[in-house]
């Protein structure tokens, strides 16, 4: 039960951070390799993929709406492997 509560608090914190007007940056990684980035600036979301990113990920057309955990889950389902989004200081 504590694990669920911790997960919910972490998710809420990420949603609050994403909703702020300050620029936000996340890396997208698979098996420890960074394959893309997610940027939120002035409420506009931009998803970018690096050369060599799996086409199943690179073909993702959205939506990107601030639910970072939801996006990670969606991308993981598309790929069939865990996809991690990690926040970076901007």
pLDDT tens-digit profile, the chain (90 residues): 555 545 544 554 455 454 555 679 999 999 999 999 999 988 889 999 999 999 999 999 778 888 899 999 999 999 999 999 999 876
* Dihedrals phi, psi of 50, to nearest 5 degrees: -85, 160
pLDDT at 5: 47
Q: Please tell me the pTM assigned to this model.
A: 0.73
Q: How crowded is residue 28: how many other Cβ atoms within 10 Å of its Cβ?
A: 23
């Amino acid at each position: 039960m504590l694990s669920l509560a911790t997960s919910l608090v972490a998710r809420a914190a990420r949603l609050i951070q994403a909703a702020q007007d300050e620029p936000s940056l996340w890396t997208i990684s698979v098996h420890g390799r960074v394959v893309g980035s997610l940027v939120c600036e002035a409420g506009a979301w931009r998803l970018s993929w690096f050369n060599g990113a799996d086409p199943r990920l690179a073909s993702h057309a959205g939506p990107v709406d601030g639910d970072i955990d939801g996006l990670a889950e969606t991308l993981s389902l598309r790929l069939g492997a865990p996809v991690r989004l990690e926040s970076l200081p901007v």
